Structure 1
Amino acid sequence: MQQEEVIVKAINIISESMRESMRRYKEETQSSKELFNLSITQLHYLHVIKERNNITITELAEIFGVQKSTVTVTVNKLLQCGFIEKLASESDLRVVYVSLTEKGKEIIELEGKGYRQFAAGILAMLNEEEQNTFTFLLNKVINNITRK
């Protein structure tokens, strides 16, 4: 097999394994129901809102490369679920900021716990030297991807 094919196969297997791990995590964790009712897009929004606390609809539209109306639809759904809140700017009432509520922060933390559980499973398959090599290579890939 060509190296590229091996990498593509590995990505697919890891993705499926992670989905299965998250399904099991959902079953084991009572409070995870709301997390799994969110779409990938909604989760992406929550992550960006967490990273850029007090972000505007316009900024979200720029980040995701979509129309403000598209952002508004997703933001309204997240607002209805209680994951985010809107705050009017004190200096300009036309500007509305979006930030996570405590419930939104809890959902992001819950997702992180599921990912950490998956990562622990991967590390358990490797000895210490392999773990160090694997981590080194992942960091190298991530650093190159994020530079673009």
Structure 2
Amino acid sequence: MQQEEVIVKAINIISESMRESMRRYKEDTPDSKELFNLSITQLHYLHVISERANVTITELAELFGVQKSTVTVTVNKLLQCGYIEKVISKDDLRVVYVSLTEKGKAVIELEDKGYRQFAASILAMLDEREQSTFTFLLNKVINQMTRG
């Protein structure tokens, strides 16, 4: 098998394993219903909002490479569900930021726990040396992908 084929197969298997792990996590975690009622797009928005202080709809549109109207639809749904709130800038009343509510923070935390559980299951398959090598290689790939 060519190296590229092995990588594609691994990505598919890991993705499917992660979906299955998150499904089991949902079943085992009583408070996880909120997390699994969100679309992937909505989760992406919540992650970006959680990682950036004072993000605007315009900035979200630029980050996701979509129209402001597209962002507005998702933001309004997240507002309606109570995951985010709008905050008017103290410096410029024309500027409106979006930020996570406590409910939004709880959903991100819940998802993070599911990811950590999945990561632990991967690490459990490897000995210490393999874990170090695997982590090193993942960091190398991540650093290359996030450059520039």
Which of the five TM-score ranges fits, normalised by the shorter chain? over 0.9
For 2:29, the equivalent position in structure 1 comes to 29
* Correspondence for 2:15: 15
| CA distance in structure 1 between the partners assigned to 2:91 and 2:12 by the alignment | 48
Q: How far did 1:62 drift?
A: 0.8
CA drift of 1:80 comes to: 0.9
Amino acid in the other structure paired with 2:40: I
Identity, % of aligned pairs?
85
**Aligned equivalent of 2:50:** 50
**Structure 2 unpaired stretches of 5+:** none
Is this contact kept in 2: 1:53–1:100, CA < 8 A? no
Which structure 1 residue ranges, 4+ long, deviate > 3 Å from structure 2? none
The residue identity in structure 1 corresponding to 2:17 is S
Supply the distance in 1 between the matched residues of 2:88 and 2:138 (Cα, whole angstroms).
41
Q: Which moved more, 1:105-114 or 1:47-56?
A: 47-56
Q: Deviation string for 1:53-87 (max 9, x for gaps)? A: 22111111111111111111000000011110001
Distance 1:46 1:147 in 2: 23
Q: Distance in 2 between matches of 1:116 and 1:21?
A: 11
2:130 paired with 1:121: no
Task: Classify the secondary structure of the residue corresponding to 2:31.
Answer: helix
Deviation digits for residues 16-65 of structure 1, max 9, x if unmatched?
A: 00000000000000111110111111011001111112211111111111
Q: Give the corresponding residue for 1:75.
A: 75
Runs (5+) with no aligned partner, structure 1: none
Task: Report the secondary structure of 2:122's partner residue.
Answer: helix
Tell me the equivalent position of 2:60. Answer: 60
State the alpha-carbon separation in 1 of the partners of residues 119 and 38 from structure 2.
22
Tell me the equivalent position of 2:133: 133
The 2-side partners of 1:82 and 1:76 are apart by 10
Distance 2:27 2:112 in 1: 16
**How many correspondences in the alignment?**
148
